Amino acid sequence: MSLYEFSICVQQIIRCHLFMNLLKNYADQVKSISEGMRSGELSMEKGAVRLRSLALLVEQDAATIDDEEYRGRLNKMADMIYAVVEKMDPQRRVIQ
């Protein structure tokens, strides 16, 4: 392996690591919002607003990433967050 190939490999590893940190950060934020709603610290409405804002940030970050795979993963995460917010809509919730 040449020095050039090695440096490309290192760059890819660094990008992957940074991306995984980004995903973990967003997942931690979703968890924090969820725990806040569960504990009563956040109302369902405030939680939904925060989740929507987070999904928007995820989409914005996805738009700045060149790698299609990583961009796709971020967009999938944003879609998942929006799906959760949609289920939180009081008109869609079923009282048991």
Per-residue model confidence as pLDDT tens digits over 33-53: 999 999 999 999 999 999 999
**Lowest mean pLDDT segment, chosen from 1-5, 22-26, 56-60, 72-76:** 1-5
| Alpha-carbon 25 to chain mean position | 8
pLDDT for res 59: 95
User: What is the C-alpha to C-alpha distance for residues 57 and 51, in angstroms, rounded to an integer?
Assistant: 10
Tally: H helices and E strands in the chain? 3, 0
User: What is the C-alpha to C-alpha distance for residues 5 and 9, in angstroms, rounded to an integer?
Assistant: 6
